[in-house]
């Protein structure tokens, strides 16, 4: 599945200046809000990495291949700007 051809959400870690996760919008049931914590498991269950959402940007009608706005029916991109938070116990 090419994320570039459909809408997606990405988590951008402001500490490391890298994208830590990218998911198609079609796979989401909700979008985290500022102040909420997002848990990502890069290697599987039990290896959770917590991130706190600091800001959210919506790029509506975004074409990542040309980096320009597109027609209203086209997909968009949502970027959650996050920072790593303390680990927690299960």
* Per-residue pLDDT of the chain in tens (90 residues, 90 and over written 9): 454 557 889 999 999 999 999 988 888 888 999 999 999 887 877 888 999 999 999 877 656 666 665 555 456 789 999 999 976 555
pTM score over 0.85: no
CATH of the domain at 40: 3.10.20
Q: Is residue 11 part of a domain?
A: yes
- Count of domains forming the chain: 1
Rg, the chain, Cα only: 14
Where are the extended beta strands (E) located within 7-84?
8-13, 18-24, 37-40, 49-59, 62-63, 68-69, 77-84
Is residue 89 one of the residues assigned to a domain?
no
């Amino acid at each position: 599945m090419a994320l570039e051809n459909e809408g997606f959400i990405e988590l951008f870690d402001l500490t490391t200046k890298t994208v830590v996760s990218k998911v198609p919008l079609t796979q989401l049931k909700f979008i985290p809000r500022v102040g909420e914590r997002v848990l990502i498991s890069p290697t599987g269950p039990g290896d959770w990495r917590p991130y706190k959402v600091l800001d959210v940007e919506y790029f509506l009608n975004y074409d990542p291949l040309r980096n320009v706005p597109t027609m209203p029916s086209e997909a968009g991109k949502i970027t959650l700007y996050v920072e790593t938070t303390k680990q927690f116990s299960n």
